[in-house]
Each structure stands twice: as C-alpha cells, then as structure tokens.
Amino acid sequence: MTKYVYLFKEGNANMRELLGGKGANLAEMTNLGLPVPQGFTVTTEACTRYYTDGKKIDDEIVEQIYAALAETEKIAGKKFGDEENPFLVSVRSGARASMPGMMDTILNLGLTDVSVKGLAKKTNNPHFAYDAYRRFIAMFSDVVMEIPKSKFEDVLDEFKEKKGVKFDRDLTADDLMAVVERFKAIYKEAMGVDFPQDPKVQLMEAVKAVFRSWDNPRAIYYRRMNDIPGDWGTAVNVQSMVFGNMGETSGTGVAFTRNPATGEKKLYGEYLLNAQGEDVVAGIRTPSPISELQNQMPDVYKQFVDIAGKLEAHYRDMQDMEYTIEEGKLYMLQTRNGKRTAAAALKIAVDLVDEGVLSEKEAVLKVEPKQLDSLLHPNFDAAALKAAPVIAKGLPASPGAGAGAIYFTADEAAKHGKNKEKVILVRKETTPEDIEGMDFSQAILTVFGGMTSHAAVVARGMGRAAVVGCGDLKINEEAKTVTVNGKTYHEGDMISVDGSTGNVYDGLIPTVEASISGDFARLMGWADAVRTLKVRTNADTPRDTKQAVKFGAEGIGLCRTEHMFFEASRIAAVREMILADTKEQREKALAKILPMQQGDFEAMYKALEGRPMTVRYLDPPLHEFVPHLDMEDEIAELAKNLGRTVEEVKAKITALHESNPMMGHRGCRLAVTYPEIAEMQTRAVMQAAINVRKECGYDIVPEIMIPLVGSKKELAFVKKIVVDTIEKIFAEQGTTMEYHIGTMIEIPRAAVTADEIAEEAEFFSFGTNDLTQMTFGFSRDDAGKFLDSYYENKIFESDPFARLDQDGVGKLVKMAAKLGRETRPNIKLGICGEHGGDPSTIEFCHNVGLNYVSCSPFRVPIARLAAAHAAIKAEGNK
Amino acid sequence: MTKYVYLFKEGNANMRELLGGKGANLAEMTNLGLPVPQGFTVTTEACTRYYTDGKKIDDEIVEQIYAALAETEKIAGKKFGDEENPFLVSVRSGARASMPGMMDTILNLGLTDVSVKGLAKKTNNPHFAYDAYRRFIAMFSDVVMEIPKSKFEDVLDEFKEKKGVKFDRDLTADDLMAVVERFKAIYKEAMGVDFPQDPKVQLMEAVKAVFRSWDNPRAIYYRRMNDIPGDWGTAVNVQSMVFGNMGETSGTGVAFTRNPATGEKKLYGEYLLNAQGEDVVAGIRTPSPISELQNQMPDVYKQFVDIAGKLEAHYRDMQDMEYTIEEGKLYMLQTRNGKRTAAAALKIAVDLVDEGVLSEKEAVLKVEPKQLDSLLHPNFDAAALKAAPVIAKGLPASPGAGAGAIYFTADEAAKHGKNKEKVILVRKETTPEDIEGMDFSQAILTVFGGMTSHAAVVARGMGRAAVVGCGDLKINEEAKTVTVNGKTYHEGDMISVDGSTGNVYDGLIPTVEASISGDFARLMGWADAVRTLKVRTNADTPRDTKQAVKFGAEGIGLCRTEHMFFEASRIAAVREMILADTKEQREKALAKILPMQQGDFEAMYKALEGRPMTVRYLDPPLHEFVPHLDMEDEIAELAKNLGRTVEEVKAKITALHESNPMMGHRGCRLAVTYPEIAEMQTRAVMQAAINVRKECGYDIVPEIMIPLVGSKKELAFVKKIVVDTIEKIFAEQGTTMEYHIGTMIEIPRAAVTADEIAEEAEFFSFGTNDLTQMTFGFSRDDAGKFLDSYYENKIFESDPFARLDQDGVGKLVKMAAKLGRETRPNIKLGICGEHGGDPSTIEFCHNVGLNYVSCSPFRVPIARLAAAHAAIKAEGNK
C-alpha cells in the first residue's frame, strides 16, 4: 500500500519530491529538535492521484489522513471539534519548488459553533476565539468555496463604522460573535447549505482546495515562467495551530538569516505583535524590524537568533523563516532557502566560500543564472539621477532601474507591456492575480506593504525593480490617476523607479550599462573555470559586439548580415538590387552595397580583437526590404530613384508577395536564384578579414554560414559559389587565409539528413527559432492566437520559443548532432537561436555535447553561469 | 584498370546499367547472331567520370576508345579517313532507361574532304557520298557545336530553288559538292576554324556532345517527369554505318512486334526507301507501312519477320526495332521493349499470359502503373461525338480524348496549362524542346509526321492524346491561327481531339467517365491478388466516392469535412459561426451546420456500402471561409445577414489575417480554441453512422481523424472532447458503436514523438503534403518562385510534392511508423497526401509496412497496380 501521508517526525529534508519543500523542511526541523508545531504532510503523489482519479480523493488516502490526524491530536493532547480543548490546524500547500503566493492557505481550521466555545473557555479569551472563527469562516469561504472575499470585508467595515473603531481588533467579543453569525449567513446564502460544522469535512474540503489550487491560472502562469512541470503536484501540510494573535506577548513574523536584497550577513526580518501570519504577508499593518524584538522579548530573540544560526549552518544557505510567538513561546513554522536578489545571491555565495562553508563549485550552483538578468540591464545614469526630481520615497524592495508609463491594473500593464511598451505597474498592494502584469512591467510601485510583502517577494524573484510601502501616493483607481504631493499623474504618464534606493522620480531618466566586477566577477571566474561549453554572442554591430565581449563573449556565433542592410543610407542600394530585372542590374546595385558591407565586417573584426565570428548570409525574404504597397510616397520616391514608373515598382513589389513568407523565398534559396548576392557577401567577408589581418595582425579565420539549408546538394551549390569567389579573391590579392563554411540547421529536413549535410558543412549552428517553427508547424507571428488556449488547457507548459522543446525539437537537435558527428567527427556544433540564452536549453546543449551556445549580449553572463551549472550537474550525475 | 569501353561482342542484355539500354541490346543481338553492324559502347561510368573530372574525358578513356575503334575497323575491314575504303560510324546516346528524343545522334561520322572521295569511289556513287557528307557537316555543326540548323537548311533551300527541284535527293552530286563547300564555310564562320578533318577529333567531340546532352534542359525535365536519377549518366554507342540511302534497294525503318497503340498481335511499322533513319523519325516524308515491304523486298521482309519473332520470344515482350536495308541487305540497328499505350500494355500483358509466355505476376510488372492514367480519364461522350462536326482527320497516334483551347507554341501551352486551363498544342511537328508544353496539354495535334514521329512517341509515353500528320491544317505561326477547310481558328479557340480515331472536332465535346473491364479488369485482378497494401481514396462527396469504389477503392482514407462547407447554401451558416463573438453565438451557428454535415456523412456512408471512412475534422484556417477585404458587396451582404455593421465584419476578417496561414490557427488548433466545432462534427459523424446502420444494416466503424497534431497532449485534449460527445450521444440514443480515433502525422514534431502520440491515437495517417512543406520549410504556394532554379541546378531532381522525398520526409515517415508500432503494435498506418497515388511513393509505403494508401479516385487503379508491383518486387528482393 502506498504511503500517502507522513507525520512530520517521519520525514526529512531529502524527501522534498514527495513532501514538497515546506513539508520536508518541517520534518527536518522536527528532527533537529526545533520547536515545531506538529502535524503531517499529504504527499505530492496524493495530489497527482487526485487528478488522475478525476479530481477526487480516494478513500485509501482519506483513511491515511484521518489516521495521521488522530496521531497529531494525541501529540497535541487536543481533539478536533472538542468543546473543552479543541484541536485547530492550519492547512497549507507545499510544492517541490517554492511558489510564493501561488498556493492557498487556510488557518484556524477546526473551528465550529461548538469548538469555538471550547477555544474561548480554554484560552479564557472569547474575543480571541471569535476573532479566529470569523477569520476562518471568511478564509474557508474565499479559498475553498470561492465566495468573494469582499462580501466578508464589507460586513467587517460595516461593524467597524457602526462601532466607530479603526482596526478589526478593536471590535469586542460580542461584536465578533455577531460578525460570525453574519459570515455564516453569507456562506449559507452563497452555498445553499450551512457552514460545515464537522471539522473533518472542513479538513477534506481544504485539502481538495489546495490540490485544486495547483492548477489555478496563477499557478500555471508561474510554473510556465519558472519551468516547473505541471505533473509535479503539490503536497498539503496540516499543522497544529499556534496563535500569534493571543495578545501582546504573542506575535508572528518572517526573517532571513542574511539580507535578501544586499546579501549582508545580518539577521533581517520583521514581526507584528498580536497578529496572524496573513497580516504580515498581506502588508496591511507595517511590521517592526526584528532587531526590536531584542528589546521586547530578549529571551525569545536570543532563542530565535540561535535557531537561525543553526538552520543556516545545517542547510549551508541563507534561510527564510516563518515563526510565531504564542504567549511568549517561540514556534518555527517554516524554513527554506531564501529567495534573494541577484546581487545578494552573488554576495552570499561568495561570502559562504570565504567563510569556508561552500566550495567554489557549490557556490556557483547557488546563483540562478536567470537571476543575473537584473544585474545586466542598464541602471540609471548617475548624473541624470542626481538632477532628477524625487517625487516620493518608499522601501527599496527589489533593486534595479525601471522607467516607463504608469498603469493601475495588472491587466493594463500586461497589455501594454506585451506591446513592447515600457510600463510601471502602480498598485495599492499586489496580489497573486497580478503576477502576469508584474512580469510585463519594468518596475512595480505599491502604496502598502513591507520588505516581505507580496510585491517585494515576487519582484525580487523576477528580477524586477520594486518600491513598496510608498505611502505618499494617493491612488484613484476609477479615475486612473495617482496624486503625490499635489501633482497628479494619469495613466500613461512617465515616471522612473529606483528599486535600489526606493526613490521615485518624475519622467523618464536615461540609463547606463551594467558591468561585471566584485563578487559578480569572482563567481563568474569560478563558473568559467568549470564550464566546457563556449559562449558566443549574437551581434550585428560593433557596439553590441563590444558589450558582449565585456560580458565575456568568446566570439560571435551569429552575425545577421541583413540587419546591416536596413540603415537609411543603404536601403536605397538594397532596393535597387531587389527590384533589378537582370543579373547585370543586380550586380550593379550589389557593387554599391559591397563597400558598405565590407566596412561593417571590418569594424566587427576589429571589435572582436581576433575572436571568431560566424557570418550568416542574407536570410529574410526580399519583400522585407521594400515598402508596403500602400506606402505611396515611399514608392514614388523609390520609382524616381530607380528611373522606373510607380506601376513598375508596384508590380515588382506585388511579385515579391508570398502566401507564407516564413516558408518562402529566403535563406540560401536567395543564393540559389541570385548567386551574385552570395558572391558579394563573400567578397565583403573575405576582403574585410584580409584587411583587418593586415592592419591589426589578428589571426582571423572567417566562418561563413549558409542559412536555411535543407539538403546537401543545396549547400554544395552555394558553397561552390563561395569557394569559387574566395579562390578569385586569393588570386587577386596574392594571399590566402584559412576559412570555414558551415550551415544553420533550422529546417527539419536538414536535421534528419545531417549526416549528408556534414559532408559539405564544417560546422552546424542550430537555428532553433526556425527549427521550432517548422517542427511544430506554427509561425511565431501567428501562434499568439491560440497559444493562450494551449497554456490554459495545459497542452503546453512553457513557450517553446523561450525554452527549447527538448522532446520534439530537441530530439531533432540530438539526432542532427549525432548524424553530423558520424560523418565528420570534429564538426563544430553550436546553437544560435534565442534559446541559446535559456539556462534549461543550455543544460540540454551541454548534455548533447554541443561546442558552444550563442546568445544576445545581455545574456552572455547568464549563459556562462548556466553552462557552469550544466557541467557541475553532469559531473554529479556521472 | 576500369574497363570503360566494350565491343558489342563483349556485352550482353544484363549489362544495361553499364552499357545503357541500346548498347546492352546491341550486344545481345550480336550474341544472338543477328545482322548487327559492329561497334562498341563507351560506358555510363565514363559519362559519370566525365562530369566528376570537370567535363573532360580522361586520357585513359580516350585510349580505350581508340583501341576499340581499331578493333572495329578490323572487323569492318575499313579505315577511318581512308581515301579508298573509309570507315564511317554513327554515334548515339544510350541511357539505362529509354529517353526517346532526349539525347543526340550523329550519323556518317568519319567523313572528311579525303574520305568522302574514298566513299564516292568505293560506292561508285558520288551523289550518295556528298549527300552523306553534307548531312554529316550539318548534323555535327548542329548537335556538337550548336550552330543553328536553319543556316544549313537555308542553303539547301536556296540550292533547291535555284535548281527548281523539290527534294534534297533531286540535287546532283555537283550540287551537293557545292553545298558541302558552303556548309564548311558556315562552320568556319561560326567556329573560327575549319571543319575538323581528323575523324578521331570528330569522334571525341561527338562523344563529348553525347555526354553533355545528358544534362541539357530537355533531358533534365524528362528525367524529373520520369523519376530517372541524374547520376546514372548515358552510354555512347559507336557503330559502323550502314546506309539506307544508297538507292531504291536501300531503306530504313522502325517496327514493333505488336501494335503499340492497340496491342494487336501483328507486326507494325514503317519504312522509307533511299533514306537515313533521321528522315523517318523527323516525319518529313511519309513512310510506307511495313506490310508493303513484303511486295517490294519479299526476302528481306521474311528475314525481318523472322528476326522480329525471335527477338520478341527472346525478350518475352513486345519489341521496338530499328533497321536499315543497304543494297538489299538487312541490318538491325536497335531493339528494345517498345513503348506502348496503356490499352496496348494491358492487352499485350494479358495476351502474353494467354500465350503462355508470361506468368500473371510477370504480366502485372509489364504494365507501368502511371500509364493507366490515360485509361481512367474521361472519353468523349459517344452521343455528343456522333453529332460533332469532324473538321479534320489525322493519324490516331495516342489514344484518349482531349478538348481545350488551342496554342501554337509549347511555351504558350505550358503557360496556360499551368494555370489549369485545358489546352491543345497545335504544331507543324514537335521537337524535343516542346516536351514541357506537351506535358501540360490535353492533346497534341500536328500537321506532319507518322505514327513513330516525335509527337506520337512522346504523347504515347505521357498518356496524352495525340493526332499527328493532319495535313489539312494550315498553320500561320505569326498570326497564331490555323485554317482548316476554309475556317480559321485563333489562339484560344476551342477544339476537341480524339487520339483513338484521329478525328479533330470543332468546339468542346463533353466527356464520359472511364470504366474498368476486359483486359484491364483481368490484369487488375492479378494485381489485387498479389498486393498486400490496401488502397483507399480521398473523397468528400458521394459522387467521388462512387467513382472511387468503381475503380476498386476499399474505403475512404481522407474525407475532408471542410469541403462540405463551401457550398453556397452552407457558407452563410459557416461564416456566422466564424464571425461569432461568443461561444453561444458560435453554437447557434453550428446548430445550423450540424444537420447539413450529418446529411453529408449519411450520404457518404451509403455510397460506401459498409466500407470504412476516415473523417478528418476541420482543418483550414478560418479566414479561408470569409470574403476578402476588398470584396465589398459580399461583405455588405454578409453584414446584413448577420445583423452587424460592415465595419464590424471587416474588423473580424482583419483579425483572422495571418502572416503565415499555413503555420497558423488551423487543424486541431481550431478544436482547442473552439471545442464546440469538434463537438458538432462528432455529432454529425456519429449520428450519421448510427442512422445509416439502422437504415441499411451496414456494420459501420467510424474513424475520426484529428489533423495537424504536434503533441500527445494536444491530441488527448481534442480526443476527450470527441469521446465525451460520443458518450453523450450513446446515452441519448441508448445505443453504442465501435469507433476509432486517430491522427494525421503531418507535423515534423508529431513524427519524432510518434511513440507518445500513439498512446492516444489508434491510427496514423501520414499527411505528406503538409509534412513535406514543414520538413522542407517551404510552402507549396511560394516554392514556385525558386523551385525552377533548383531543378536547373540539379539540386532537386523531382518535385517533392509529387514524389515523396524518401531521404528526408520519408525518413520521418519511417521513424514515425517505427515509433508508433513500438507503442501500439497493431496501430493502423496509412498515407493520405497526394503522394498516395504516386507509384514510387507507394513502393516506399509498402516497404515501410504501411497498411494502406489513399489517393484521388482516378488514381485508385494506379495505386492498386503500384501496390502489386511493390509486393512482387519486395518478394524478388527477399
């Protein structure tokens, strides 16, 4: 019989997959002898089974839960629903990977009309008992039964107004008893039945709600963003309640063993007296810093510092802990490796090495590659920042610079963000529903909440800049305005937010580039020492090239030559070439383009200072270079320049139209029909290389890449054009130079016939953007229309254009790598699609045995670190 | 050392690959002791080497040629260039597969200013000698040096006019000497050097010309049309000349052992006295039927009949022979299995079985599946034909009915034919350059030429109707008219051509369907007995279904449900569904479509009489069903019908636009976003099946096919919609029915993850049209822009949309079949792309182990025969 339920004392930290992170750590803390309210964990397997059983909990599992409950009652010496000494529990989700705010929690479960009396009697505190009951009814109704929370809040507000008090806690026990009656009535009206008075029924409904919440849209979106498989499921933790809201000797809080924003080695956290955990996380009351606890409860503080030290040493990582003080007694409710900003991650990893806790390799694994992103993007220009008017100040919850147009709902922010607009999400406080809007924002700015509020935690996880608790802001959600110190900003107005200082500025402040130094540089050094995968960059300009080299790029993996064609000064010659009727006309136009393109390559070779560069020949369909048919002015000018009539030019443009341009006349197909284009590009590359070699002495070995190849003969045909041209240049210049000719593998046919293609190609570069399009048979431009349905229905768990589809597209990559090596054992293999900067794809590339990945300049450090992770993990798996 | 040259006596009929068909048969005839002018064959390997050596003939090969030449001179007792007894040869191409008219021939090689005197002296016939010399100069100049033939013809015409004679042969020896001088002058002017006076130089240039001609555009086109690999190369046959033009006891001709048009067992052929072979083939003089030879030269006739019988018995097939009579002595110049019409092929195959010559399986292999095409397309309606006015009569060179618009050049015919216009090519005579235009014509009509003229031979090979030698026609090529008996037809006017009777009719005559009976039926019976691959059809209407069943279809492999949506009476409801804003609106429109679609399926199931049908769910992108944005009237009407504004409708249509519709929102992606469409289609299929079962008692097992699936989860999602709907219907109707749900494999990702997909799919049908598009990454609609360059540059040898690309797309098919069977050993596998009717693809499908192919109704018999060929060949390979 499968064991679906584990008491805390039966588990340990290594059982994370089965018990979830929270459950495994509660078990581990129990084993360490720490003060943990006891309870049990329903396993992730039970969740998976819930779904395969058609969303029901099998009797077998129910029985195991009841047995564990009985055991836990015995430990606590209390009984579920008892009118003398009632047993209450919290029910919380706990997945394998931490998913903050994604899953739902229910506190005070077990309260009924009977047991609330027992609680009042036992604690001698009816106010406390009925406060707990009203909280439980509201929470259960909201989370389990999906009755709108606002219905309950309205009643509470009504009571507070009637009584003329400000806070919930100022209501009397009698008030609360009346509130409870009203809450139960709301429940009955919404559900048609009475609020459940059997605690076991409450418990099973709560467990189901946790299971269900694994598949709510927020959770699905979070998993997609974080590459968490949908079939992992969540565990459920049922734990004896302890109460932080039993008066001024009680309280609850969260703390980190080091500062999660800076990494500073100093206990960091907050607490609220006379409160339950939800009050801290929701950010409604502003908590006190943990250092104050030293004054208020020195013993408890000392005990906590002790436990924190013990946990960090035990887990060898910075810990994020939740605790409750019940009438002066400390309880640990949770510990986990704390989320942290990229800067903190670097500092903590480096410090732990210096403290002798971690090896360098272990430290490298402590920093998530994706996280570096926040360090690599521009910060505010210091001079501009000095001159900028600070309009408000809040808590610096997540570092980084964000500037953009303000929006007041997550939906609006997401909508505009998707349109590539830079947006700032401005909210009173954020909730889990806001997650997509936060993801699409440059920065998040909230009125309420502390450093551990939802907005702060999530923004740090995402690497988004965030300023929270900025009380100067007066938001009018209906009018879509925010007023600060008398000035009103409307939706779409520009502000700048500095998550490192908490400052908010008027207007857009210019930004400057990031650089790698200090802890960052040390950790990257360790990463470079261990990785075997080379990291190149995709760059088409000397500026991008220099940026990438600064970030550690070891060469260019993809130089897209067509990008050089779009400049205003060049497009005329390019259009002349495209609209030519004869080879002669085309060659004349190409002769104008040659010196420009050669100059580009010379500048690139200089910027690379001897590093290699793979040049991809002209790839896009030609119509991308000509004006649209309805751009009358441009066409008229073009006709004039070319000495043609407008009708002739329009006819030419019409002839270039394609039904499916993605699968049209592009890539090497252009070189097959117009060999003179490939000849010109060959001259540009080779002559540039020869010139720069002469001028600077770099030992340049040009790499020429033919795109969109589908068969060996196609590559051979274009290669011959290239080689013949090179031989001519060598003869003309009386010199020679080593060079390599290879191809993109981006057409499924190329992947399955890679053994043949390798007879001609000296290297393969996997163009996984196109390969993904062709392998799935959908175009990136159109897939938006249906991909949302695919995510909603869990057909896709991640965007195949962001994260390589390893089962399908990856299978083709693997096959092509194997076939290519069979023909040419030393063939050089790389990847240059946008996947080249995605950590999970990089791990795949390492395991498949590619030689390098190539990604955008800003992702180069991420790729270096991800390559190191891949190497270390692969070593571990040996 | 490789042997590149074989004397005829060194070879045999089995050395076809090395010696080409002609060379192998010349060797075989030599071995049989038949009167063959001796010579030697330069192998196909020499041709391949010529190309790999960069278009030059290696010294090693030259030496072997000279050695064989010396040997042949010895046999003939003559010497190259001798002024007493000169040796003359013919040089002809001879590929592995017969390529009539594609390759070039040179006669009388060896004549020089010196040897022509020898020939005159030896034959005592200066007229003959100088006639041969002038022919040789013209032919060598044209074929080897590409000097326009017309230059020589003009000189000849000038002489004939000056002398007031009609035929070349009426010129005197002195005239011909003068002609020779003029011809040499033309050569010198064109080439800058004298006409070569060294016979060995002539020979090597001629051999090179034959090699070169392997790669001329006509040859490349013919190979593509006939699936002949470009790397086979051609052999060259060098043979002692014999002369049919030495007076009235000489002659030359061609003959078939049976009638190549009807298959009748009777010697069939023609000859011309005092002529060389080129005169017969060119069709300039009209030859006599071979039966007349019996009167003119009874001994020669008897000898020929004897030889013909011997050859047919030896080769066990109808022979096509060339012969020459030199001063009363018969020489055999060639024999080969004769090309024949489909009807003749069937009759000959069946007769040879009845005569005890062939087994049934051998007979099946004697009929080329593709050839049946001509028997399966409509013939003229007999009643209409009787009433139609015959405007001219020619030779019935290739049977079948063709009606269409007339064009006077192959280019025009090809151009209009490509646009799906039905065209008739009307020419004085055809030449190899016309081949593409002939291919795109319904029928070919020529003024000159006999039953073995170029037009006749090629048309029969292609299965095109042809009437030749129709002397009543007066063509004016400049005016683009043809006048017949006083009536003038202009380009584009309609005529009808009956290749079975030779009649030409005014206007378009209606046609009737073909049927299978007699020899055809007997042979198909033998084919069905041996094949293991089932043959289904692609049909969307009861009419097509009935036609296919008549042709032997064993069910429907692909019923495209969307075709049912386009009918005028239905499109309104379909558009209402597409333009709906809400699920409710969409369901309302679908409710209107349901009874129509259910009615369709009921009619289909009835037409099938219990045979299986695979129904594919809605596949095309929705914008295909709505009017284009510029169709203002239709949009206005649509808006009115829907109670919407024109702007709203236009906005909806615009929203449906896709950049790459081929890779867009289509196939099962529609069912994912609009499950209600799949629900409606499921109701239509299942309710129809249940009704027809009840009404007719057929044991129907519906096969539901989900298109464009790329992943298992996608299929599972749609399958669940279908299954849930079916369960509902079963519950409603209180009945059940076996059914199968499967998928198209047409997305590369589906092929590489077929093991997973087979967990959900009960059958796979390979949609090789889309699979070819995605695997190559080019769209059928756009590929036309560059595919011509691909053929010209020999990157592609055949159209991957017509003949399955076995190396690339086929590899995916093989992989998917293997993976699918690993998961589900009894999975049913079929193909339903247009490739399903292509014989070479059918052989591939047989070898991969598919269960069935599905093709258009008119290709069903072809597929049945091809499947039989595949089975017999595979048996032979065991």
Enter the tokens of residue A512: 């400057």
Q: Which of B52, B774, B815 to mutate to test the interface with A (most CBs of A within 10 A)?
A: B774
Distance of CA A800 to the CA centre of its chain: 15
pLDDT at B772 over 80: yes
Q: What is the pLDDT at residue B513?
A: 67
Q: Which residue has the tokens 């087994």?
A: B359
Q: What is the mean pLDDT of chain B?
A: 91
Q: What is the pLDDT at residue A281?
A: 62
Region of A667 on the Ramachandran plot (φ > 0 left; ψ -120 to 50 alpha; else beta): left
Determine the 3-state secondary structure of B152 from DSSP.
Answer: helix
Sign of the alpha-carbon torsion through A77, A78, A80, A83 = positive
Q: Which of B795, B798, B804 to mutate to test the interface with A (most CBs of A within 10 A)?
A: B795
pLDDT at A634 over 80: yes
CA angle at B51 for the pair B45 and B56, rounded to the nearest 5°: 100
Return the active site residues of B.
454, 832
Over the stretch B547-600, which tens digit does the pLDDT of each residue have? 899 999 999 999 998 877 876 678 888 899 999 988 899 999 999 999 999 999
Whether residue A357 contacts residue A316, with contact meaning beta carbons closer than 8 Å, is answered with yes
Strands B534-538 and B852-855 turn out to be: parallel
**End-to-end Cα distance, chain B:** 33
pLDDT at B673 over 90: yes
Q: What are the phi and psi torsion angles at A325 (to 5°)?
A: -110, 120
Cβ–Cβ below 8 Å for B717 and A793: yes
Q: Give the minimum alpha-carbon distance from A181 to chain B in angstroms, rounded to a whole number.
A: 40
Sign of the alpha-carbon torsion through A847, A848, A850, A852 = negative
Q: What is the pLDDT at residue B869?
A: 97
Three-state SS string across A740-766, please? EEEEEECCHHHHHCHHHHCCCCCEEEE
Whether residue A287 contacts residue A271, with contact meaning beta carbons closer than 8 Å, is answered with yes
Q: What is the pLDDT at residue A463?
A: 63
Q: Which of A651-655, A706-710, B815-819 has the lowest mean pLDDT?
A: A651-655
Q: Give the minimum alpha-carbon distance from B670 to chain A in angstroms, rounded to a whole number.
A: 8
Determine the 3-state secondary structure of B789 from DSSP.
Answer: helix
Cβ–Cβ below 8 Å for A811 and B753: yes
Q: What is the mean pLDDT of residues B536-540?
A: 92
**Separation between Cα atoms, residue A364 and residue A838, nearest integer Å:** 17
Cβ–Cβ below 8 Å for B663 and A662: yes
Q: What is the pLDDT at residue B283?
A: 61
B659 → closest Cβ in A708, A776, A779:
A779
Give the C-alpha distances (Å, rounded to integers) separating B191 from A52, B149, B403: 85, 14, 46
Class of residue A567 by CB neighbours under 10 A (exposed 0-12, middle 13-18, buried 19+): exposed
Specify which residues A240 forms β-bridges with: A89
**Separation between Cα atoms, residue A146 and residue A148, nearest integer Å:** 6
Task: Provide Rg for chain A, Cα atoms.
Answer: 32
Sign of the alpha-carbon torsion through A291, A295, A297, A300 = positive
Which of A558, A524, A562 lies closest to A544, judged by CA? A558
Q: Which of A669-683, A847-861, B348-362, B431-445 has the lowest mean pLDDT?
A: B431-445
Distance of CA A249 to the CA centre of its chain: 40
Give the contacts of B177 (CB within 8 A, at least 6 positions apart): B126, B130
Q: What is the pLDDT at residue B687?
A: 98
Q: What is the pLDDT at residue A570?
A: 80
Strands A379-380 and A511-512 turn out to be: antiparallel
Over the stretch A354-393, which tens digit does the pLDDT of each residue have? 999 999 999 999 999 988 877 887 688 878 888 888 999 9
**Separation between Cα atoms, residue A867 and residue B1, nearest integer Å:** 55
Q: Give the minimum alpha-carbon distance from A774 to chain B in angstroms, rounded to a whole number.
A: 5
**End-to-end Cα distance, chain A:** 33
Cβ–Cβ below 8 Å for B672 and A774: no
Q: What is the pLDDT at residue B630?
A: 83
Enter the tokens of residue B876: 């032979």
Q: What is the pLDDT at residue B100?
A: 59
Residue of chain B whose Cα is closest to the Cα of A655: B785
Specify which residues A854 forms β-bridges with: A536
Q: Is A846 a catalytic residue?
A: no
Cβ–Cβ below 8 Å for A713 and B794: yes
Q: What are the phi and psi torsion angles at A654 (to 5°)?
A: -60, -40
Cβ–Cβ below 8 Å for B781 and A658: yes
Across the A/B interface, how many CB contacts are shorter than 8 Å?
Answer: 168
Cβ–Cβ below 8 Å for B782 and A660: yes
Residues of A in contact with B781 (CB under 8 A): 658-660
B778 → closest Cβ in A663, A756, A785:
A663
Whether residue B289 contacts residue B256, with contact meaning beta carbons closer than 8 Å, is answered with no
B781 → closest Cβ in A660, A673, A756:
A660
Whether residue A814 contacts residue A848, with contact meaning beta carbons closer than 8 Å, is answered with yes
Over the stretch B143-199, which tens digit does the pLDDT of each residue have? 899 899 889 999 999 999 999 888 787 899 999 999 999 999 999 999 999 999 999
Over the stretch B677-698, which tens digit does the pLDDT of each residue have? 999 999 999 999 999 999 999 9
pLDDT band at B284 (very low <50, low <70, confident <90, very high): low
Q: What is the pLDDT at residue B433?
A: 72
Give the C-alpha distances (Å, rounded to integers) separating B704 from A206, B562, B833: 41, 14, 17
Q: What are the phi and psi torsion angles at B226 (to 5°)?
A: -115, 15
Query: What number of CA atoms fall less than 13 Å from residue B607's CA on the CB side?
Result: 24
Q: Which of A487-491, B314-318, B467-471 has the lowest mean pLDDT?
A: B467-471
What letter would DSSP give residue A432? G
Q: What is the dihedral of CA B380, B383, B387, B391, to 10 degrees?
A: 20
**Separation between Cα atoms, residue B781 and residue A641, nearest integer Å:** 32
Distance of CA A852 to the CA centre of its chain: 24
Residues of B in contact with A815 (CB under 8 A): 752
pLDDT band at A97 (very low <50, low <70, confident <90, very high): confident
Over the stretch A690-730, which tens digit does the pLDDT of each residue have? 999 999 999 999 999 999 999 999 999 999 999 999 999 99
Over the stretch A767-819, which tens digit does the pLDDT of each residue have? 999 999 999 999 887 887 788 889 888 899 888 988 899 999 999 999 999 99
Cβ–Cβ below 8 Å for B753 and A659: no
Q: Which of B624, B628, B752, B759 to mutate to test the interface with A (most CBs of A within 10 A)?
A: B752
Q: What is the pLDDT at residue B220?
A: 83
What letter would DSSP give residue B845? H
Q: What is the pLDDT at residue A101?
A: 52
**Separation between Cα atoms, residue A606 and residue B169, nearest integer Å:** 78
Q: Is A832 a catalytic residue?
A: yes
Number of Cβ within 10 Å of residue A478's Cβ equals 7
Query: What number of CA atoms fall less than 13 Å from residue A871's CA on the CB side?
Result: 20
Enter the tokens of residue A20: 């979830």
Q: What is the mean pLDDT of residues B23-36?
A: 96
pLDDT band at A282 (very low <50, low <70, confident <90, very high): low
Which of A605, A485, A518 lies closest to A555, judged by CA? A605
**Separation between Cα atoms, residue B797 and residue B31, nearest integer Å:** 36
**Separation between Cα atoms, residue B377 and residue A408, nearest integer Å:** 69
Cβ–Cβ below 8 Å for A663 and B779: yes
**Separation between Cα atoms, residue A417 and residue A436, nearest integer Å:** 10
**Separation between Cα atoms, residue B790 and residue B795, nearest integer Å:** 5
Which of B848, B777, B713, B673 lies closest to A807, judged by CA? B713
Over the stretch B61-114, which tens digit does the pLDDT of each residue have? 999 999 999 999 999 999 999 999 999 999 999 999 877 555 668 999 999 999
Q: What is the pLDDT at residue A169?
A: 77
**Separation between Cα atoms, residue B866 and residue B841, nearest integer Å:** 9
